[in-house]
Chain A
């Protein structure tokens, strides 16, 4: 698309509710979505202007529609790439996962693969090129052995799932401008929580997180659980009725985008 045409279209506040949301299931953008999309235009415009100064006839590349919404989806995609590859590798490693547990990991793996595909198509529909899959090192430079030690495989699986739950929650404010994306993100978020609960039980933990204690987890995963001990929800003391363990477990906490990225980056070469 010609830059001038694009600028012209950007000046039309209906643009974001029509052409940019091509995925049919994601066209339900509310009035609040319109406003948020328009509010995001100045940032996008800055990118456009900088680019057009260099090459006015550049065709549309994948970053022109970058917004907090698509940044949130890119982060989610990174986490889903990580989980997807992790379970695929685990299932593909002979003798690692006991046969009785395979049904669980096959189900989780199936969902993570679907999440990757869904997020890629969503980003594309929003006019942004989905990020490429990073190169992962699940041993973190040889410090973990998840594909030779099943206990470690479970530890990292728990860490990834509990991280995923927190990371999606942390992006709620960034995706709420688009109701369809918000709902889909919530629908992925609860799947991650179902996974987390199951993996935690496979490690003889409760399915929920009491205090900031991951449950027999190595210190290397502390960042995943930092803040989970919170017992103050909007001024309400959740520890009053039954103590801090129950009060903290009744609520999962958010993880900021930067904290989630830092955790994921440990496993990215």
Chain B
């Protein structure tokens, strides 16, 4: 994968605009953006390509943003497939619910693409996915996968928040993760209506805390769905 960096040759006007796009207060991010803009082609290639030609999510907040972008790409891709081929016997209420989830995840995905593009050219490419064990025409299979993806999303954001240094990004992640948790609750209630499963003991511990997982754990769970390999060396994913 050869990624052009011609954007950095377009001068300060564009880059300033891109940073303004995010209205970031974070000096760290602005500095990271400047550092990348200042890189020569070779240096830049070195920064995001590893010898095996895999994309690296990057360092600092950019790495976390690309990580979130990868997960949102996965969720958006999954729900796109769900709404393009609703499982047999789906109710109107469930159609509405899955259409909402599809909308939200596509919005999250496109937000991250725009946000990351605003601060760096090290933007995760569009990933390819696979669902070897999912039967999209089967309700139970779709619900089980949706539950896994939403719970994983919650655990991923909960575990990655501490790696974010820019408070603006942290708030954005917070705005998204609670919606993922609302989704998880909804899917869980579809699977077992009226039960305690919406925030079940399998995900909420005795201290009343939801799951938080490190990126390495998340990638080992979600990785089965992701065909396009990537690394996140800063967080031990290679």
Binding site for B on A (CB under 8 A): 30, 32, 100-101, 103-104, 106-108, 110-115, 117-118, 165, 168-169, 172-173, 176, 179-180, 182-184, 186-198, 201, 206-208, 233-236, 238, 241-242, 246-247, 249-254
Contact = CB atoms under 8 A, between A and B. Distances in A.
B100 A249 contact: yes
A35 to B, nearest CB: 11
A213 B162 CA distance: 32
B138 to A, nearest CB: 23
B185 A236 contact: no
A119 to B, nearest CB: 10
Interface in B165-181: 165, 167-168, 170-172, 174-181
A207 B186 contact: yes
Nearest to B157: A186
B135 interface: no
Contacts of B115: 234, 236
13 contacts: A100-B194, A117-B207, A118-B209, A169-B175, A186-B174, A187-B210, A187-B211, A188-B209, A190-B157, A194-B184, A241-B110, A250-B103, A252-B174
Interface residues of B, number: 58
Given A173-B167, A192-B178, 17 more contacts: A117-B207, A165-B178, A169-B171, A182-B161, A182-B170, A187-B209, A187-B211, A190-B158, A190-B181, A191-B209, A194-B184, A197-B185, A234-B115, A252-B175, A252-B179, A254-B171, A254-B174
A186 B171 CA distance: 11
B177 A189 contact: yes
Given A249-B100, A250-B107, A254-B171, A111 B204 contact: yes
Given A118-B207, A194-B210, A208-B179, A250 B108 contact: yes
B22 A111 contact: no
A165 B181 CA distance: 10
A180 B207 CA distance: 14
Contact of A107 (B100, B118, B168, B196): B196
Nearest to B115: A234
B1 interface: no
A189 B170 contact: no
Given A169-B175, A193-B181, A194-B181, A103 B195 contact: yes
B20 A32 contact: no
Contact of A188 (B159, B168, B175, B208): B208
Secondary structure of the A contact surface, majority rule: helix
B208 A112 contact: yes
Given A169-B174, A234-B172, A236-B115, A108 B158 contact: no
Nearest to A165: B178
B121 interface: no
3 closest residue pairs by CB, A with B: A114-B208, A193-B181, A197-B185
Contacts of B114: 236
Nearest to B178: A193
Contacts of B180: 190
Contacts of A249: 100, 103-104, 179
A190 B100 contact: no
Contacts of A111: 199, 204, 208
B158 A186 contact: yes
A103 B158 CA distance: 26
